[in-house]
Amino acid sequence: MKPSKVLIIGSGPIVIGQAAEFDYAGTQACKAMREEGIISVLVNSNPATIMTDEGIADIVYVEPLNLDTLTRIIERERPDGLLPTLGGQTGLNLAVELADAGILDKYNVRSLGTPIQTIKQAEDRELFKQLLIKIGEPVPASVSVNTLKQARQVTGEIGLPLIIRPAFTLGGTGSGMAHNLEELEIVVSGGLAISPIHQVLLEKSVAGWKEIEYEVMRDGANNCITVCNMENLDPMGVHTGDSIVIAPSQTLTNKEYQMLRTASLKIIRALGIEGGCNVQFALDPKSSQYYVIEVNPRVSRSSALASKATGYPIARVASKIAVGKRLDEIPNQVTGRTMASFEPAMDYVVVKIPNWPFEKFASSNRTIGTQMKATGEVMAIDRCFEAALQKAVRSLESNRKSLTWEDPGWKLSTDINSYPLKPNDLRLWAIMAALRRGITPETITEYTRIDLWFINKLQNIVDMERVLQSQTLTQELMWQAKQLGFTDEQIGALTGRSSKQVRQMRRKWKIQPVYKIVDTCAAEFDASTPYYYSTYEQEDESKRTRRKKAIVVGSGPIRIGQGIEFDYCCVHAAFALRDEGYETIMVNCNPETVSTDFDTSDKLYFEPLTVEDVLNIYEKERPLGIIIQFGGQTPLNIAAELENAGVKIMGTSVNSIDIASDRGRFSEVMKKYGIPMPESGTARSLDEALVVAKRIGYPLIVRPSYVLGGRGMEIIHDKEELVQYVSVAVTVTPDRPILIERYLENAIETEADALSDGKDVFIPTIMEHIEYAGVHSGDAACVLPPVSLPEKHICTIEGYTKKIALELQVVGLMNVQYAICQDKVYVIEANPRASRTVPLVSKVCGIQMARLATQLILGKKIKELGLKKLSIPHFGVKESVFPFNMFPEVDPVLRPEMKSTGEVLGIADSFGMAYWKAQEAVNRLPTKGMVLITVSEADRHAVVDVANQFATLGFKIRATSGTHTYLANHGISSDTILKEHEGRPNITDAIKNGEIQLVINTPVGKLSKYDDSYIRKAAIKYRIPYITTLAAARAAAKGITAYREGKSDVKSLQSYHADIKSFARD
Amino acid sequence: MGKPALLVLADGSSYHGYTFGTSVDAVGEVVFCTSMIGYQEMLTDPSYAGQILVPTYPLIGNYGINEQDIESDRIQVRGFVVREQCLQPSHYMSQETIQQYLERGGIPGIYGVDTRAITRRLRAGGVMMGIITSDKTPQQALDALHKMPDYGSIDFVKQVTTKVPYYWQAEGSESKYHIVVLDCGLKYNILRILNHLGCNVTTIPCTTSASVILSLKPDGILLSPGPGNPELLDYIVATIKQLIGKKPIMGICLGNQLIARSFGASTFKLKFGHRGGNHPVRELATNRIYITAQNHGYAVAPDSLKGDLEVTHINLNDGTVEGLKHKELPIFAIQYHSEASPGPLDNTYLFDKFIEMVKGTSV
Ligand SMILES: Nc1ncnc2c1ncn2[C@@H]1O[C@H](COP(=O)(O)OP(=O)(O)O)[C@@H](O)[C@H]1O
Ligand SMILES: Nc1ncnc2c1ncn2[C@@H]1O[C@H](COP(=O)(O)OP(=O)(O)O)[C@@H](O)[C@H]1O
Ligand SMILES: [Mg+2]
Ligand SMILES: [Mg+2]
- Per cent of chain B over pLDDT 90 is 96
Section B293-315 average pLDDT: 95
For testing the chain A interface, which of B18, B36, B56, B120 should be mutated: the one with the most A CBs within 10 Å? B36
DSSP A1065: P
Q: Which residue's CA lies nearest to atom 24 of ligand 2?
A: A776
Q: Give, for ligand 1, the residue of A239, A295, A296, A371 to mutate: max count of ligand atoms closer than 8 Å to Cβ.
A: A239
pLDDT at residue A708 in the model: 59
Contacts for B99 with CB less than 8 Å, ≥ 6 apart:
B20, B21, B61, B85, B87, B109
- pLDDT of residue B54 exceeding 90: yes
Q: Are B109 and B102 in contact (CB under 8 A)?
A: yes
Section A765-790 average pLDDT: 96
Could you give the C-alpha distances from A997 to A135, A890, A933, A983, A1044, in angstroms and in order? 46, 22, 11, 22, 17
Q: Which ligand 2 atom is the nearest neighbour of the CA of A709?
A: 22
**Residues for chain A: how many in total?**
1066
Q: Which of residues 337-356 of A touch B (CB under 8 A)?
A: 337-339, 341-349
Give the 3-state secondary structure of residue A372.
Answer: coil
Chain mean pLDDT for chain B: 96
CA A879/CA A780 separation, integer angstroms: 7
pLDDT at residue A400 in the model: 63
Dihedral angle, C-alpha A120, A121, A125, A131, nearest 10 °? 180
Check pocket membership of A205 for ligand 1, CB cut-off 6 A.
yes
Q: What ipTM did this prediction achieve?
A: 0.97
The catalytically annotated residue of B71, B253, B274, B322 is B253
A329 touching B, CB under 8 A?
no
Q: Which residue's CA lies nearest to atom 10 of ligand 1?
A: A237
Q: Are A2 and A30 in contact (CB under 8 A)?
A: no
Residue of A nearest to B112 (CA): A537
A522 touching B, CB under 8 A?
yes
Can you point out the beta strands (E) in A567-712? 583-588, 603-606, 625-627, 649-650, 680-683, 700-704
B339 flagged as catalytic: yes
- pLDDT of residue A730 exceeding 80: no
- pLDDT of residue A404 exceeding 80: yes
Q: What are the tens digits of pLDDT across the range A979-995?
A: 988 999 999 999 988 99
Look at the alpha carbons of A461, A467, A469, A472 in this order and tell me if their dihedral is positive or negative: negative
- Per cent of chain A over pLDDT 90 is 84
Which ligand sits closest to the CA of A169?
A: 1
Q: Which ligand 2 atom is the nearest neighbour of the CA of A749?
A: 27
Burial track A877-900 (b if 16+ CB lie within 10 A, e otherwise): bbbbbbbbbbbeebbbbbbbbbbb
pLDDT band at A662 (very low <50, low <70, confident <90, very high): confident
- Which is it for strands B249-252 and B331-334: parallel, antiparallel or unpaired? parallel
A399 touching B, CB under 8 A?
no
Residue A425's closest CA among A356, A376, A372? A356
Give the 3-state secondary structure of residue B324.
Answer: strand
Q: Which ligand 1 atom is the nearest neighbour of the CA of A235?
A: 27
Q: Are A688 and A695 in contact (CB under 8 A)?
A: no
- pLDDT of residue A534 exceeding 50: yes
CA B31/CA A948 separation, integer angstroms: 82
Task: Report the range of poorest mean pLDDT among A536-550, A667-681, A721-735, A743-757.
Answer: A721-735
Task: Report the range of poorest mean pLDDT among A329-333, A675-679, B348-352.
Answer: A329-333
Q: What are the tens digits of pLDDT across the range A997-1050?
A: 999 999 876 656 678 889 999 998 888 999 999 999 999 999 999 999 886 789
Q: Which of residues 419-438 of A touch B (CB under 8 A)?
A: none
**A37 exposure class (CB count in 10 Å sphere: 0-12, 13-18, 19+):** exposed
Give the 3-state secondary structure of residue B52.
Answer: strand
Q: Which residues of A touch B37 (CB under 8 A)?
A: 248-249, 252-254, 257
- pLDDT of residue A913 exceeding 50: yes
Residue A564's closest CA among A359, A839, A781? A839
CA A744/CA A3 separation, integer angstroms: 57
- Amino acid letter, A127: L
DSSP A992-1028: HTT--SEEEE----TTSSS--HHHHHHHHHTT--EE-
pLDDT at residue A1066 in the model: 43
pLDDT at residue A399 in the model: 67
A798 touching B, CB under 8 A?
no
CB contact under 8 A, A254 and B38: yes
Bridge partners of A551?
A585, A626
pLDDT band at A1065 (very low <50, low <70, confident <90, very high): very low
Q: What are the tens digits of pLDDT across the range A581-610?
A: 999 999 999 999 999 998 899 999 999 999
pLDDT band at B2 (very low <50, low <70, confident <90, very high): confident
B253 flagged as catalytic: yes
Q: Which ligand 2 atom is the nearest neighbour of the CA of A829?
A: 17
Task: Report the range of poorest mean pLDDT among A393-397, A451-455, A859-863, B173-177.
Answer: B173-177
CA B118/CA A497 separation, integer angstroms: 36
CA B74/CA B163 separation, integer angstroms: 14
Q: Give, for ligand 1, the residue of A280, A370, A371 to mutate: max count of ligand atoms closer than 8 Å to Cβ.
A: A370
Q: Are A217 and A321 in contact (CB under 8 A)?
A: yes
- pLDDT of residue B1 exceeding 80: no
Span between the terminal Cα atoms of chain B, in Å: 63
Backbone angles phi, psi at A492, to 5 degrees: -60, -50
Q: What are the tens digits of pLDDT across the range A94-133?
A: 999 999 999 999 999 999 999 999 999 998 888 999 999 9
Look at the alpha carbons of A201, A203, A206, A210 in this order and tell me if their dihedral is positive or negative: negative
Residue A999's closest CA among A1009, A1010, A988? A988
Q: What are the tens digits of pLDDT across the range A188-233?
A: 998 888 887 888 999 999 999 999 999 999 999 999 999 999 999 9
Backbone angles phi, psi at A221, to 5 degrees: -95, 10
Chain mean pLDDT for chain A: 93
Contacts 24+ apart (CB under 8 A), A361-367: A361/A887, A361/A890, A361/A899, A363/A889, A363/A890, A363/A891, A364/A887, A364/A889, A364/A890, A365/A889, A366/A424, A366/A425, A366/A426, A367/A422, A367/A423, A367/A424
Helices marked H in A46-87: 67-77
CA A975/CA A978 separation, integer angstroms: 10
Residue A256's closest CA among B93, B230, B189, B296? B93
For testing the chain B interface, which of A215, A226, A254, A346 should be mutated: the one with the most B CBs within 10 Å? A254
- Give the binding-site residues of ligand 2, using a 6 Å CB cut-off: A 678, 701, 709-710, 713, 741-744, 747, 749, 773-777, 817, 819, 828-829, 896
Contacts 24+ apart (CB under 8 A), A732-737: A732/A683, A732/A684, A732/A685, A732/A686, A732/A689, A732/A704, A733/A684, A734/A684, A734/A685, A736/A704, A736/A705, A736/A706, A737/A682, A737/A683, A737/A684, A737/A705
pLDDT band at A889 (very low <50, low <70, confident <90, very high): confident
CA A298/CA A22 separation, integer angstroms: 11
Give the 3-state secondary structure of residue B351.
Answer: helix
Q: Which residue's CA lies nearest to atom 17 of ligand 1?
A: A294
Question: Count of CB atoms within 10 A of residue A476's CB?
Answer: 9
pLDDT band at B176 (very low <50, low <70, confident <90, very high): confident
Distance A16 CA to ligand 4 centre (A): 23
**Which residue from B69, B86, B120 is facing A254, i.e. has the nearest CB?**
B69
Q: Are A905 and A916 in contact (CB under 8 A)?
A: no
Burial track A333-365 (b if 16+ CB lie within 10 A, e otherwise): bbbeebbbbbbbbbbbbbbbbbbbbbbbbeebe
Q: What are the tens digits of pLDDT across the range B159-172?
A: 999 999 999 999 87
- Which is it for strands A649-650 and A902-908: parallel, antiparallel or unpaired? unpaired
- pLDDT of residue A972 exceeding 80: yes
Q: What are the tens digits of pLDDT across the range A565-586?
A: 999 999 999 999 999 999 999 9
pLDDT at residue A270 in the model: 97
- pLDDT of residue B66 exceeding 90: yes
Q: What are the tens digits of pLDDT across the range A41-85?
A: 999 999 999 999 988 999 999 999 999 999 999 999 999 999 999
CA A630/CA A618 separation, integer angstroms: 18
- Amino acid letter, A520: T
Contacts for A705 with CB less than 8 Å, ≥ 6 apart:
A663, A682, A736, A737, A738, A739
Residue A842's closest CA among A657, A444, A1051, A571? A571
Chain centroid to CA A446: how far? 34
Helices marked H in A135-224: 148-158, 181-194
Residue of B nearest to A251 (CA): B63
Q: Which residue's CA lies nearest to atom 2 of ligand 2?
A: A743
B71 flagged as catalytic: no
CA A449/CA A351 separation, integer angstroms: 19
Which ligand sits closest to the CA of A741?
A: 2
Q: Which residues of A touch B317 (CB under 8 A)?
A: 337-338, 342, 525
